[in-house]
Amino acid sequence: MTIRDDYKNKNILVLGLAVSGYSAAKVLHQLGASVIVNDYKHLKDNKEADELSSLGIKVVTGGHPLSLLDDTPDMIVKNPGIPYSNPLLVEALKRGIPIITDVEIAYTISESPIVAITGTNGKTTTTKMIESLLKADYENGHIYSVGNIGTPAASVALNSGTEDTLIMEVSSFQLMGTSEFKPKIAVITNIHSAHLDYHGSRNEYVMAKMNITKKQTKEDYLIYNHDQFELTELVTSESKATFIPFSRKKRLDKGVYLDNGTIYFNNEKVMDSASIIMPGKHNLENALAAIAVAKLYKVSNEAIEKVFSKFNGVPHRLQFVDEFNHRKFYNDSKATNSLAAINALEGFNQKVILLAGGLDRGDSFEDLIPAFRKHVKYLFTFGETAQKLSEVGAEAGVEMATAYDKLSDAVAKAYLESKEGDIVLLSPSCASWDAYSNFEARGQDFIDNVELIKKGYLKGE
């Protein structure tokens, strides 16, 4: 859907100068809009703000003054993370000013078909799987991963063509700011409770997710997790798209399903599930969703199997790091809560040597006890929660549960105590901010320490 001229000569307020706001402001300026950018923070010597100013875009910082609404902007493009409880947005809604996100802009200006992926868990992994599958066996144009995965959607959409495809990861925050968004293919990986502090209620969160399919018609496709009864009920009532369900638990008359270790699409064998090297039932579900997209794009079964035989995952999300001396190492630094760590542990068919710890938010971690008892061989903890987690491990009956100050010490001890055939897994159950700037930095520290061990540098030897 291309309505690029609709932005020409419009007065548009961009709220929030983050990556998406900076991109949206530049795109809208190129489309002929009169743009004002507003950010709550003071942005002295900010190169993005300076660049926008040099283009003639007004930049207002240091608060969200209601006076920005005095000239009644035609619309507001907001950073997805800014809640609708923000006083400026509350007042804008009272005045009937439309509020959108950059996802809506990308859709309205895109000449390329859009494959959009949402869900509580698995969005990024599924997006990268789809990207890998389409790039492996698609010759008609370029494949771009955009949206919540990190690359602003609007800037790519402005320059992509009819033969290209935008694979767009979209969050509930982004989807709330859409009204016309209509992807050619929509994927919903799963629905659980999340972000209730932002949305205020589970229903609002779920309905925000359903915006991915609200405007779809029979000519569009909706791929969804048939194993979730709630989701099946939702799509039946909320969507008019052509349904393509996926299931790892039951045979389906149509769609993608797992049966006795074999994956089928519309009853045609695609591949053996054993070819998927990423561990975990949740990653198998992500793969089924990605296969559905690939089959719609007529990707060959041979190409699909080849991709999954090499796909190691997204960095810091149950990422296979290395194997040496008959030990395997996995980086799941993105597991910043107990549920994510439990999902990781359940993905392996043997007990693992677990590294866990990080920022202490006051959690008791008692919910980890059953998973520790069933899936953990040894536990080595680190950071602010080291002692608390090691005590939980001991309560769960883990044979060895020892606390360390630093991740590097825990990695070294894990290797020293490991045997041939063991798996060493970093799945922290905690945020990283006690010692790292983000979970990526923590994951990279783990990878670096594994590399040092491989090269023969190891504390305690």
Adjacent-strand bridge partners of 13 = 36, 76
Q: How many CA atoms lie within 13 A of 247 on its CB side?
A: 20
What string of DSSP letters covers 193-241?
A: ---HHHHSSHHHHHHHHHTTTTT--TTSEEEEETT-HHHHHHHHHH--S
Strands 423-426 and 221-225: unpaired
**3-state SS, residue 188:** strand
> Is residue 250 marked as binding?
no
In this structure, the number of other CB atoms found within 10 A of the CB of residue 113 comes to: 17
> Is residue 120 marked as binding?
yes
> Is residue 393 marked as binding?
no
Q: How many CA atoms lie within 13 A of 442 on its CB side?
A: 32
Query: For residue 423, what are the contacts with CB-CB under 8 A and spacing of at least 6?
Result: 327, 328, 329, 330, 348, 350, 352, 353
Question: What are the tokens at 265?
Answer: 């699409």
Task: Tell me if 37 sits within 8 A of 59, measured CB to CB.
Answer: yes
> Is residue 125 marked as binding?
yes
Adjacent-strand bridge partners of 223 = 187, 244
What string of DSSP letters covers 57-76?
A: -EEEESS--GGGGTT--SEE
Distance CA(218)–CA(116), nearest Å, equals 16
Question: What are the tokens at 347?
Answer: 């993905």
Q: In 306-393, at which residue ranges do the beta strands (DSSP E only) sit?
A: 319-324, 327-331, 352-357, 376-382
Tell me the CA distances in angstroms from 27 to 33, 234, 286, one per residue in order. 9, 35, 32
Distance CA(445)–CA(416), nearest Å, equals 18
> CA nearest 256: which of 231, 233, 286?
286
> Is residue 150 marked as binding?
no
Q: Which secondary-structure segment (H or E) carries 14?
A: strand 11-15
> Is residue 123 marked as binding?
yes
Q: What is the DSSP letter of 368?
A: G
Alpha-helix residue ranges (DSSP H) falling in 68-195: 87-94, 102-109, 123-136, 153-159, 172-176
Indicate the annotated binding residues.
Answer: 119-125
Indicate the annotated binding residues for ATP.
Answer: 119-125
